[in-house]
């Protein structure tokens, strides 16, 4: 059975790019373009959530907080994938990790391929 990824991303082009790559790698992709939809779709129990931070409405941190507080979604691993902040010792990263994110990736640093391999690593670990 294919693993499901919830891709929370408001930028159409980036969403499309990650979706294409993930499907190519055999993942089933559910998309959400803002925080509210993300929370709703998380109930469908995806295997992993890719979460953007800067979004209209609820921002990524708020979504993350709610996901982790909700018993239904708390165990789903979340990868924060954003263009805010920096990966090395930054307050944004600290915040994301303290809220329960598995890791914090800056989009512009990583190719879609690298993102997929990160997802693979995390899913292998949680299995």
Partner 1 sequence: MFKEMGQLKIDFPLIIISDEGYLKYCSESAGELLFIPNINGLVGQKIDAHQHCSSDFSKEVIELVEKARTDQTPYNSELRKGDMVFLVSVAPVVEGKKPSGISVILNNITEYRTKETESALLYHISSTMSSTLPPKEISEKILWQIVQVMNLSGGNIMLVDPPSQILFVETTTSPNRMRPLRLKLGQGIAGWVAKTGQPLAIPHTKKEKRYVLASKNEDKSLLSVPLITKGQILGVLNLWKPAGEYFAESQVQTFSIIASRIADVIETNRQRIVGEKRLELAQILNSTPDLQPIVEKAIVKVTEILGNVPCSIYTWTDLNYLDSLASTHHCYVGGRKHEMRMSSAKVKHLIDETGSPILLNNWKNSGWVKSLMHKHGEGWNNTIASGLISKGELFGLLFIHYAAATELGRDTLNLISAISSQLAMTLENSQLYTDVARERDILETIHRTTGEGLILLDVRGEIIFYNQAVKELLGMKKDILGEGLDSILSEPDKYCRYMFIPQIDMSDSIRRSATEGRAFTMTLNTCEKPFRVIKGRLEPIKDQHSGGALLTLRNFTEIEDLNNKMATRVEQLTDLFKISNLTGASHLKTIDRVIKYLPKLLQAEGSVFLQITDGELIPLARSNWRTYNKLILADSKIAQLSVTKKRPQVIKSGEIDKNDQVLPRKTDSILTVPLVEGGACTGIIAVRNKLQGKRFNKDDVKLISIAGDKVQSLMKSLKLMGNIGREKDRLSVLIESSAEGIFAVDNDGSISLWNEAMSRLTGYSTEEAMGKAANKFLLTGRDNLGLIDLINSSRKMNQQKGSLYEIELHTKSRNKRWVGIHFAIPLSNREGETEMIILLNDISRYKELEQKKNEFISMTAHELRTPLTAIKGYMSMIIQGDAGPLNEKQDRYFGRVYSSVERLVGLVEDLLNVVRIEEKRMVFNIKPAPLQNLAKEVMFDFKQKALQKGIALDFKTNNQLKNVLVLMDSDRTKQILSNLVDNAIKYTHRNGKISIKLYKDGKGKYVVTEVEDNGVGIPPSQIENVFDKNYRVNNPLSNQAGGYGLGLYITRSLVEQQNGEIWVKSAEGRGSIFSFSVPINNK
Binding site for partner 1 (CB under 8 A): 11, 13-14, 17-18, 20-21, 24, 54, 83-84, 86, 88-91, 94, 106-109, 111-113
Which token pair is 122? 């995390």
Nearer to partner 1, 66 or 120 (CB): 120
CB of 47 to partner 1, least distance (A): 22
Nearer to partner 1, 18 or 48 (CB): 18
CB of 80 to partner 1, least distance (A): 14
3-state DSSP assignment of residue 103: strand
- Are 25 and 16 in contact by the 8 Å Cβ rule? The answer is no
Nearer to partner 1, 20 or 72 (CB): 20
Place of tokens 């990524």: 60
Nearer to partner 1, 54 or 75 (CB): 54
CB of 127 to partner 1, least distance (A): 26
CB of 113 to partner 1, least distance (A): 6
């Amino acid at each position: 059975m294919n693993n499901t990824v919830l891709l929370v991303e408001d930028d159409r082009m980036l969403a499309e790019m990650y979706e294409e790559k993930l499907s190519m790698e055999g993942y089933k992709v559910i998309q959400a373009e803002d925080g509210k939809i993300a929370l709703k779709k998380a109930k469908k129990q995806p295997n992993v959530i890719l979460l953007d931070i800067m979004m209209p409405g609820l921002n990524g941190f708020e979504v993350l907080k709610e996901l982790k507080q909700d018993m239904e979604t708390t165990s789903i691993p979340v990868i924060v994938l954003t263009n805010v902040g920096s990966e090395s010792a930054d307050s944004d990263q600290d915040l994301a990790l303290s809220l329960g994110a598995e890791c914090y990736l800056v989009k512009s640093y990583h190719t879609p391929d690298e993102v997929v391999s990160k997802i693979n690593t995390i899913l292998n670990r949680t299995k």
